[in-house]
């Protein structure tokens, strides 16, 4: 036996000892349409349903401001009174002038019936009555500005002046809030805004009041979307107000969007790289191929697919490590189980 014959025998022996590598084992899921909704919890701050800030429309000395922060006021209560000496004098003057104008016009009207005065004088007298009446109404309105009354029942939230202060025109001196109901404004993604509507039911918690859950409704959906965050504002009204709830407290709003039929795959099937999101699809011969996809909303354990896949496609959901285009795999589950 030659040396060459010895080498050949050794090579054949090694080949016989080789064991074929098993195919990678993977689990597969089927791409399908499902009716999905989105459950989310967002946080916001309790705000009063209404707030009014009071500014003086009459310049002068503040004579009275009887209420302080935290005081309750009723509709029609006198919140503040300005010094009305000058305004009342102007009002009295306008009142007297109007009364005299009416008397003068009446006298000329009687004379005109006997042709004892000209029509021109009568017209002038009538015009003067109209002018004096306008001045009277103006001074009456200015006088009313010296007394500021509560437009509705509420609680004083700010007291910004004191009796004796000289207030320039349009100076804020008080704020009043209506706490008969509270609101919460929360940001919501533009992807979800079209899936909610006015009066949809929500649940909420107020951190300061413990873990109790209350029910409420969507009161307002704002029309604008923030161009930077791509979120819009949704306003929730809390009525009746939970005992102990106050403006400024943190609230957690939980809501569920309407059901919508969407194309979905399991979250575990999706991978990402510098080119974006992709999945490994399976053909009839159990060979895999990379498919780039565009994703939409994220659901629990599922992801919406906007493009790149069709209903009935099969994708690898588990066992993705080391896979590449064209590689054959061993499917160890039924896709319909996913």
Tell me which residue has tokens 């039924």. 334
Question: What is the pLDDT averaged over residues 161-177?
Answer: 95
User: Contact, 65 vs 147, CB < 8 A?
Assistant: no
pLDDT at 13 over 60: no
C-alpha to C-alpha distance for 21 and 45, rounded to whole angstroms? 61
Question: What is the pLDDT averaged over residues 99-124?
Answer: 89
Question: What is the pLDDT averaged over residues 4-24?
Answer: 58
Q: What pLDDT score does 26 carry?
A: 82
Question: What is the pLDDT averaged over residues 85-99?
Answer: 96
C-alpha to C-alpha distance for 20 and 41, rounded to whole angstroms? 53
* pLDDT tens track for 115-124: 888 888 989 9
pLDDT at 10 over 70: no
Q: State what percent of residues in the chain have pLDDT above 70.
A: 93
Non-local (6+) Cβ contacts of 204 within 8 A are 184, 213, 214, 215, 216, 236, 238, 251, 252, 253, 254
Q: What pLDDT score does 326 carry?
A: 78
Q: What pLDDT score does 54 carry?
A: 96
Output the average pLDDT for the chain: 88
pLDDT at 161 over 90: yes
Q: What pLDDT score does 42 carry?
A: 92
C-alpha to C-alpha distance for 266 and 30, rounded to whole angstroms? 9
Q: Residue 5 — pLDDT band, cuts 50, 70, 90?
A: low
pLDDT at 39 over 90: no
Higher pLDDT: 326 or 87? It is 87
Query: pTM for the complete prediction?
Result: 0.64
Higher pLDDT: 6 or 109? It is 109
Q: Residue 126 — pLDDT band, cuts 50, 70, 90?
A: very high
Q: Residue 338 — pLDDT band, cuts 50, 70, 90?
A: very low
pLDDT at 64 over 50: yes
* pLDDT tens track for 285-329: 888 889 999 998 888 888 999 999 999 999 988 887 777 777 888
pLDDT at 229 over 60: yes
Q: Which domains does the chain have, with CATH numbers?
A: 25-37+261-337 (2.40.420.20), 39-49+181-259 (2.40.30.170), 84-145 (1.10.287.470)
Q: What pLDDT score does 337 carry?
A: 45
Quick one: tokens of 45?
């701050």
Question: What is the pLDDT averaged over residues 15-33?
Answer: 75
Q: What pLDDT score does 335 carry?
A: 62
């Amino acid at each position: 036996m030659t040396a060459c014959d010895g080498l050949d025998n050794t090579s054949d022996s090694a080949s016989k000892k080789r064991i074929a590598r098993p195919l990678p084992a993977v689990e597969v899921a089927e791409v399908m349409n499902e009716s999905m909704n989105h459950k989310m919890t967002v946080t916001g701050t309790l705000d009063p349903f209404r707030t009014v800030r009071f500014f003086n429309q009459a310049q002068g000395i503040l004579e009275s401001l009887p209420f302080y922060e935290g005081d309750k006021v009723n509709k029609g209560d006198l919140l503040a009174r300005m010094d009305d000496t000058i305004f009342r004098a102007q009002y009295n003057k306008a009142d007297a002038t109007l009364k005299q104008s009416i008397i003068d016009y009446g006298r000329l009207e009687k004379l005109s019936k006997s042709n004892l005065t000209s029509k021109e004088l009568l017209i002038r007298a009538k015009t003067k009555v109209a002018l004096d009446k306008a001045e009277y109404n103006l001074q009456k309105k200015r006088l009313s500005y010296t007394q500021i009354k509560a437009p509705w029942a509420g609680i004083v939230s700010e007291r910004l002046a004191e009796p004796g202060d000289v207030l320039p025109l349009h100076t804020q001196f008080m704020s009043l809030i209506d706490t008969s109901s509270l609101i919460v404004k929360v940001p919501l993604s533009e992807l979800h805004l079209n899936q909610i509507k006015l009066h949809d039911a929500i649940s909420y918690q107020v951190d300061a009041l413990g873990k109790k859950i209350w029910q409420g409704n969507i009161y307002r959906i704002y029309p604008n979307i923030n161009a930077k965050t791509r979120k819009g504002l949704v306003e929730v009204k809390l009525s009746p107000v939970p005992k102990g709830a106050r403006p400024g407290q943190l609230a957690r709003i939980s809501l569920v969007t309407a059901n919508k039929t969407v194309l979905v795959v399991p979250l575990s099937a999706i991978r990402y790289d510098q080119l974006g999101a992709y999945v490994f699809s399976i053909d009839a011969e159990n060979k895999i191929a990379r498919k780039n996809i565009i994703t939409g909303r994220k659901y629990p354990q599922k992801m919406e697919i906007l493009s790149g896949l069709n209903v009935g496609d099969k994708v690898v959901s588990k066992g993705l490590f080391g896979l590449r285009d064209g590689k054959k795999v061993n499917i160890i589950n039924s896709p319909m189980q996913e």
